[in-house]
């Protein structure tokens, strides 16, 4: 049965509910620009009506829940794309440095090799000329140095990447520890039947940060959320996190271990995956080609030297030497003596007969299959290819990440327009409910003063 009291209670309840809805709206507005925030919506329902006889009386509004709007599938896809994008970007940064070493056609190994052979060609016009012989030795020295420099620069890029492995692992461990703590909290809230909304947002944000560092997969288990690397190494199981360790691997680089097992080669995506890919695949591949070129070129030229005679009429000696452990880094000259160039084919100083053999080194295929210049230009093309592939990966993963972020934003993003409209609605409802309280109050006054009015 309708009564003033029930109207008052309905209005008072409506004040509370609209107050709560205003809170949610206010929270949405406050977090409009917070990364990872999912907007909250207020679920309202009508309170169970009371039936008296054949009349039904409403009993007001009920606040069911304040829920965050999220889509777990999209969140997972975004995490996946984020690691791909970060991995490609990290790789790209490293490869841009690598290709920079081979970018110039007017300096570097190709140019040094060209100058060296042109110097020998010039020597053929006057094989006894000391100045020209000296300039051949200088060109040979420049060539050896440019191999040394390229190898050293590759080494520097590689060791910088190597340092960042342990830094990244430290960051991963810090994040997984935080996620485990939040997992514990979410578990408690869920046991108490609370919506862990804001806490889940925090967790998603941490997972998003984690997936910038490495590719992870998430599964819900009885213990709560489980996070593993893409390859299945556990990082977080419920409220427990498993630290990754860094230690020396077989190549002397910092490898990543999980519970004593070397998992370096299984890590993909994210800063860590990109770093390891560039450090263990891209750079060694370029360096090994550089080493092959250095050693085979040196062998080939030394063999040509040994077919001739130096200016003093002695049999030609090897001009280049190197250490097989790193030919490009260790390529050096065996002598600085200009007379050592074996131009002569018969031991007479004026003969240039062996220069044909020396020059043939430039155009004859090395054991690796192509002549030195072609081998070098292939190396340039390969450095460019690797970089442009990484560039393409960055572009495509950025595009799909934007697309996914758009989708998630359409679902979970805070729209100021929408919130403003809600604000007006809830404000009006609140004012109206307050007016009802006021009205009921006036009615009560009327009722209470009914008798007195009659008496006076």
Partner 1 sequence: MRVNPNFTADILQNLYVSQNQEQTTIQQMSSGRLINMPSDNPAGAAQLVENQVQQEQNDQFQQNTTAIEGLMHSADSTLSSVVESLNQAVSLGVEGGNTTKSPAELQSIAQEVQGIQQQMVQLANTSYEGNYIFSGTLTKTEPYTLNPSSPDGVTYNGNTGTNTVTIANGNNVQTNVPGSQIFQGAGGDVFGALQQLVTALQNGDYSGVESATTALGGSLSYLSQQRVFYGNVLNQLTDNQNYLQQEQVTLQTNANSIDGVDMAKAATDLSQEQVTQSATLAALAKIVPMSLLNYLK
Q: How many CB atoms are located within 10 Å of the residue 78 CB?
A: 22
> 317 near 305, Cβ under 8 Å?
yes
Q: Is 60 left (phi over 0), alpha (psi -120 to 50) or beta?
A: left
In whole angstroms, the minimum distance from the beta carbon of 330 to partner 1 comes to 24
16: helix, strand or coil: helix
72 or 420: CB nearest partner 1: 420
Number of residues counted as binding partner 1 (CB under 8 A) = 67
Contact 293, 366 (CB under 8 A): yes
Which of 84, 91, 115, 241 is in the footprint of partner 1 by CB under 8 A? Answer: 115
Q: With CB under 8 A as the contact rule, which of the stretches 257-265, 266-274, 330-338, 384-392 interacts with partner 1?
A: 384-392
Q: Which two tokens stand for residue 158?
A: 């590689």
**Whole-angstrom distance between the N-terminal and C-terminal Cα of the chain?**
33
- How far is 371 from 275, CA to CA, in rounded Å? 33
- Establish if 381 lies at the interface with partner 1 (CB under 8 A): yes
Site map for partner 1, 300-339, x if CB under 8 A? Answer: ----------------------------------------
Residue selected from 14, 79, 117, 230 as contacting partner 1 according to rule CB under 8 A: 117
Nearer to partner 1, 373 or 434 (CB): 373
**Residue 224, token pair as written in the block:** 């709560």
Is residue 116 a contact residue for partner 1 (CB under 8 A)? Answer: no
> Residue 249 or 384: which CB sits closer to partner 1?
384
Give the span between the Cα atoms of 32 and 40, in whole angstroms. 11
Q: Taking CB under 8 A as the rule, which mask of x and - marks residues 32-71 in contact with partner 1?
A: xx--------------------------------------
Stretch that binds partner 1, among 56-64, 167-175, 272-280, 420-428 (CB under 8 A): 420-428
Binding of residue 391 to partner 1 (CB under 8 A): yes
Give the Cα separation of 375 and 367 in Å (integer): 11
Select from 30, 52, 303, 421 the one that contacts partner 1 (CB under 8 A): 421
Tokens of 92: 């790209």
- Count Cβ atoms within 10 A of the Cβ of residue 163 and give its class: 0-12 exposed, 13-18 middle, 19 or more buried: exposed
Q: Let me know: does 92 contact 390? Beta carbons within 8 Å.
A: yes
Q: Name the site residues for partner 1 (rule: CB under 8 A).
A: 32-33, 95-96, 99-100, 102-103, 105-106, 110-111, 113-115, 117-118, 121-122, 124-129, 344, 346, 348-353, 356, 359, 373-374, 376-378, 380-385, 387-388, 391, 398, 402, 405-411, 413-418, 420-421, 424
């Amino acid at each position: 049965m309708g009564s003033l009291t029930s109207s008052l209670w309905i209005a008072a309840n409506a004040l509370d509910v609209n107050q709560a809805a205003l809170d949610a709206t206010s929270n949405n507005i406050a977090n409009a620009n917070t990364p990872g925030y999912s907007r909250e919506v207020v679920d309202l329902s009508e309170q169970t009506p009371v039936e008296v006889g054949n009349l039904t009386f409403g009993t007001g509004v009920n606040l069911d829940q304040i829920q965050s709007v999220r889509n777990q599938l999209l969140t997972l896809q975004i995490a996946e794309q984020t690691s791909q994008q970060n991995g490609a970007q990290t790789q790209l940064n490293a490869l841009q440095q690598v290709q920079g070493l081979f970018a110039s056609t007017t300096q570097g190994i190709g140019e040094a090799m060209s100058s060296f052979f042109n110097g020998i060609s010039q020597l053929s016009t006057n094989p006894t000329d000391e100045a020209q012989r000296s300039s051949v030795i200088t060109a040979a020295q420049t060539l050896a140095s440019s191999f040394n420099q390229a190898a050293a620069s590759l080494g520097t890029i590689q060791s910088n990447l190597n340092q960042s492995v342990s830094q990244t692992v430290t960051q991963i461990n810090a994040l997984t520890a935080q996620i485990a703590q939040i997992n514990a909290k979410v578990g408690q809230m869920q046991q108490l039947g609370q919506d862990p909304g804001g806490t889940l947002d925090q967790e998603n944000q941490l997972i998003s940060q984690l997936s910038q560092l490495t590719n992870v997969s998430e599964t819900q288990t009885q213990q709560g959320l489980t996070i593993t690397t893409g390859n299945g190494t556990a990082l977080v199981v419920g409220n427990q996190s498993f630290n990754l360790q860094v230690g020396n691997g077989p190549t002397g680089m910092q490898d990543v271990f999980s519970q004593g097992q070397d998992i370096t080669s299984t890590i993909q995506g994210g800063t860590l995956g990109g770093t390891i890919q560039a450090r263990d695949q891209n750079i060694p591949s370029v360096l090994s080609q550089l080493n092959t070129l250095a050693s085979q070129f040196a062998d080939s030229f030394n063999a040509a030297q040994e077919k001739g005679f130096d200016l003093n009429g002695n049999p030609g000696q090897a001009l280049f030497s190197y250490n097989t452990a790193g030919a490009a880094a260790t390529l050096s000259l065996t002598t600085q003596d200009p007379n050592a160039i074996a131009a002569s084919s018969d031991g007479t100083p004026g003969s240039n007969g062996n220069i044909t053999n020396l020059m043939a080194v430039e155009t004859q295929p090395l054991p690796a299959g192509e002549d030195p210049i072609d081998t070098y230009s292939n190396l340039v093309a390969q450095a460019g290819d690797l970089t442009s592939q990484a560039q393409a990966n960055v572009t495509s993963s950025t595009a799909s990440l934007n697309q996914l972020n758009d989708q998630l934003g359409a679902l979970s993003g805070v729209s100021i327009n929408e919130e403003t409209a809600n604000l007006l609605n809830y404000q009006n409802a609140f004012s109206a409910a307050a007016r009802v309280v006021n009205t009921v109050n006036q009615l009560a006054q009327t009722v209470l003063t009914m008798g007195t009015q009659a008496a006076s």
